[in-house]
Amino acid sequence: MHKSNWKSTFGTPNSAHPCVRHLRRFADETDGSMTILALFLVMIVFTAAGFAVDTMRYDRERVKLQYALDRAVLAAADLDQELCPKDVVRDYLAKEGLDQYLIEDSIKVTPETCGAQNARLAGTRKVEAQAEMQVRTHFMQWSGVETLGTVAASVAEESIGNVEISLVLDVSGSMAGTKLTNLKEAAIDFVHEMDEKSEDGKLSISIVPYSEQVSVPDFLMDELKTIGENEVANCIDFGPNDFTTTEFDYYDIEDQNGVVIRAGSFVPRTLHFVDYGRNDYRESDQLINSTTCRRETATDQRAMAVLQKNPDTLEDQINLLQAQGWTSIDVGLKWGLTLLDDSIQPLIARLSETSAIPSEFDERPARNKTGDSLKVLVLMTDGENTRQHKVNAPYNEGVSDIHWNDAANTYSVYDEDQDRYIWTNVKRTVRHNNGSRWTRNYYQDHAYSATEDNGSTQLRYKRYRCTDYSNGTCYETSSTYYYDTGYGSSEQLEWPDVWAHTQKEAIYNLLYDGQGSNAANDFWDDSTTELRQWNKDPRVESLCEKAQEEEVLIFSIAYEAPEGVKQMLKDCAVKDNRYYEADGKKIIGVFDSISATIQNLRLTQ
């Protein structure tokens, strides 16, 4: 029997093929792998940094070109630029070494004019320009980008935008003569200069001539809620509280249907009157001579010009100014600020629907403190506050106790305590043609008026016969009613009408005769008020502070003025460069300077 044996034999590594051994060795080897990765990352960072450097260089050159072009067009658009705008743009870029980048024919000027005078006549100047630059790259060129292109474009336009101006001008008596002549010339030049530098509809100018009072144009007065009026009552009496604010509420605000949505307050009118003298002009139907609230004539119209734009219209009104009366800086300043304050805007909007105010000013005055419009007030005076007169309640409105018969030219005064009338022009003692003595009583039971009796117009009056007369004295009388014909009727006079024709002492005498000394003395003491400098200066100071709060810029001018008023004007202007002193024709230069300053301020607001 045979015996079999199984034996399995496995090969060892030493007996493997050489290629296998090399492959196994390569798979197990790790030396040098990090070096390759690091080199790869460094290349990425280096490339990114190079691209960043090129980008920063590009951005730097782009900003440099844009900045230079912006400055160039701003200088070229300046309304005071005497050179041609295109030349200015090229010169600015040439000084920066960038003129070669200007795109040919890219400079556009509207309107196409040269010189400052032409630009001002046009009222605006717009300059546009473009430039293109190729910035060479240092690192991007490795990827095929050899240059980066940049285009700069810039537009500049200069014009006086929305500007609201109040010219508050002293036309008191001390301004008479050459001073007023120079002021007129300066003010006329100012309105024309401002108009030439402004686009249509962006400039409104109000003129507020003041002396003791400020005259209000009829179209504005008709909208105000006033107390009392006479034939010349075109001014109003502001109260003490009115000088603590720039606001104005003496009118009703209405909706589109005319329904009142805010009722305004009432303000007294300044009556045409004088608080002295004993003359009466009623019989001749003449008004008293008064400068309190002046009577306008064809050659002397001093009512305010309210938000106007036509320089010729303003010039005509300035030429009509005449100098007369006391000085009320506070009243002029109040009206000037009122015409700049947004509280009067609803009324201006209503008036803009008429021919009184240009329709494009329906949203003026613009809102306070918003920058929607530059608000400027020019305050000019040649002296200190002096005097202001007004009639007090209850003597400034309503009916009086004084009656007038125009046909007979005589007064009657009612005495309420005695319930009787005095006929002031009737002779008390007359001699009858038969020699007997009669007396006509001053005191009657009606005013000196005709009555209807038996179909005829008659005047009934009491007549007394002296029944016991001795040595010029009548000891006993008997009364009888008598009738005359043709004497017309008496009219009970309104207080404003009394003041318009009769001076204060003459009114006092009428009341003294008709009502006695107590009533007459009360009238004398209480009927009028005279404000003086110590009343008015604090009002100016208060208004100037409020104007500053409302961001109204005030320029003040002391025109041949005394030292006493200069500090108040300086304080009102706030900044030294907005306060001026002038004499003679130098005031023309002052207004020119203010005009230029307003233009610069508008551009930087």
Q: For residue range 189-227, list pLDDT tens digits in order.
A: 999 999 988 888 899 999 999 999 999 999 999 999 999
Long-range contacts of 58-65 (CB under 8 A, 24+ apart): 58/135, 58/137, 58/148, 58/150, 61/133, 61/135, 61/150, 62/133, 62/135, 62/150, 62/152, 64/96, 64/98, 65/98, 65/101, 65/131, 65/133, 65/150, 65/152
What pLDDT, on a 0 to 100 scale, did the predictor assign at position 7? 40
Q: Say whether pLDDT at 267 is over 90.
A: yes
pLDDT at position 268 is 95
Provide CB contacts within 8 A for 176, sequence distance 6+: 322, 323, 324
What's residue 8's pLDDT?
38
CATH number of 163-392+530-604: 3.40.50.410
What pLDDT is recorded for position 370?
A: 81
Distance CA 341, CA 525 (A): 37
Contacts of 453 (CB under 8 A, 6+ apart): 460, 483
Q: Is the pLDDT of residue 450 over 90?
A: no
Say what the pLDDT of residue 592 is. Answer: 95
Return the pLDDT at 89. Answer: 86
pTM recorded for the entire structure: 0.73
CB 302 within 8 A of CB 321: yes
Residue 295: its pLDDT value, please?
A: 79
Contacts for 225 with CB less than 8 Å, ≥ 6 apart:
250, 251, 252, 264, 265, 266, 267
| pLDDT given at position 21 | 64
The pLDDT of residue 58 = 62
Does position 361 have pLDDT exceeding 90, yes or no?
A: yes
Confidence class for position 363, pLDDT limits 50, 70, 90:
very high
Residue 177 has pLDDT above 60, yes or no: yes
- 53-62, 147-156, 426-435, 502-511: which range is least confident on average? 426-435
Residue 2: predicted pLDDT: 39
Query: pLDDT per residue over 551-599, tens digit each?
Result: 999 999 999 999 999 999 999 998 888 999 999 999 999 999 999 888 7
Determine the average pLDDT of the residues in 162-177.
96
On the question of pLDDT at 603 being above 90, the answer is: no
Burial of 425 (0-12, 13-18, 19+ CB in 10 A): middle
pLDDT-derived band of residue 148, with 50, 70 and 90 as boundaries?
low
User: Cβ contacts of residue 390 below 8 Å, gap of 6+?
Assistant: 237, 268, 270, 271, 292, 396, 528, 529, 531
Average pLDDT over residues 235-253: 97
Q: What does the pLDDT look like over 24-62, one tens digit per residue?
A: 665 555 555 566 666 656 666 655 565 566 566 666 777
CA 93 from centroid of its chain's CA atoms:
43
Q: Which amino acid is at 68?
A: A
What pLDDT, on the 0 to 100 scale, is given for residue 301? 83
8 Å CB contact between 352 and 219:
no
Give per-residue pLDDT as tens, 422-448: 888 766 655 554 455 556 666 788 898
Task: Please give the pLDDT value at position 302.
Answer: 87
At 135, is the pLDDT very low, low, confident or very high (cuts 50, 70, 90)?
low
Question: What is the chain's mean pLDDT, rounded?
Answer: 84
> Range with the lowest mean pLDDT among 69-73, 237-241, 303-307?
69-73
